[in-house]
Amino acid sequence: MSKQFSLPKQAETPGITAYGGSGATRNSRPADRGLHQVAEQLFFYFFAALSAISAFLAVTRKNPVVSVVWLISCMFSLAVIYVLLNAFFLAAVQVIVYAGAILMLFVFVIMMLNLKTGMIGQMRNLGLKFIGLIVTLIILRQFYSAIKGTGALLDLPPEVAADFGQASAVGELMFSQYLYPLELMAVLLLVAIVGALVLAGKEQP
């Protein structure tokens, strides 16, 4: 890809550069700025590859506990990518909500159900495999559309780009444009809690 990933630059004040130096040294640090961008890109591609590999291993391991561990690795990698994009609020939510709460709930449910390694991966139904292949192709098509449309994000107005990933911007969108999906999410969480209680109260044979 010809476009480079870099953190949004901070606003510069007269006599002070975005890197903390004075105006007299602004032209004396091109090598430092280039090294900063290279390191930033290396971090991005490393954690992007780690998240993809972790996600693949999470869905291919037969041991459910091992799958959850790889899923936690994927969530932490995504949180680092959010940090590289200066979306610190989204990074905190990624770690606290997903890696800290939901995945721990997965671990407790797996241990409560006492799933054995042999119980995973016993499906040999060709129809289910065909449906899984179709769903995979649809997801890959969505990924391609998302990657192809990233160029439009580079043309955002400065005031919109400055609020990217901030708590105020996320809260404003959540309670205005996405109010109904937020309410539906609350209903889904309620259904999940009721389902967990039903599973916990179910007597083992």
Mean pLDDT for the chain overall: 74
| The token pair that represents 204 in the structure block | 């083992």
**Is 110 buried (19+), middle (13-18) or exposed (0-12) by CB count in 10 A?**
middle
| Model confidence band, residue 163 (pLDDT cutoffs 50, 70, 90) | low
Work out the percent of the chain whose per-residue pLDDT is above 90: 11
- The confidence score (pLDDT) of residue 81 equals 92
Worst-scoring range by mean pLDDT, 79-93, 97-111, 185-199?
97-111
Contact predicate 95/78, CB 8 Å: no
* Banded model confidence at residue 164, pLDDT cuts 50, 70, 90: low
Locus of tokens 């041991």: 63
Q: Which CATH number fits domain 1-122: 1.10.10.60, 1.10.287.180, 2.60.120.10, 1.20.120.1200?
A: 1.20.120.1200
Question: How many Cβ atoms from other residues are within 10 Å of residue 51's Cβ?
Answer: 19
Q: Whole-prediction pTM value? A: 0.59
Query: 199 is written with which tokens?
Result: 């599973």
Question: The tokens of 42 are what?
Answer: 């290396």
Label residue 101 by pLDDT band (50, 70, 90): confident
Q: Which of 1-15, 67-81, 159-173 has the weakest average pLDDT? A: 1-15
Band (pLDDT 50/70/90 cuts) for residue 156 is low
**Per-residue confidence at 67, pLDDT binned at 50, 70, 90?**
confident
Can you tell me the distance from the alpha carbon of 205 to that of 199, in angstroms, rounded to the nearest whole number?
13
Domain segments of the chain as ranges? 1-122, 123-205
Q: How many CB atoms lie within 10 A of CB 78?
A: 22
Segments in the chain forming alpha helices (H): 30-60, 64-84, 88-93, 103-113, 126-148, 158-162, 167-174, 179-201
Amino acid at 33: R
Distance CA 55, CA 106 (A): 15
pLDDT confidence of 174, banded at 50, 70, 90?
A: confident
Q: CA-to-CA distance for 78 and 80, rounded, in angstroms?
A: 5
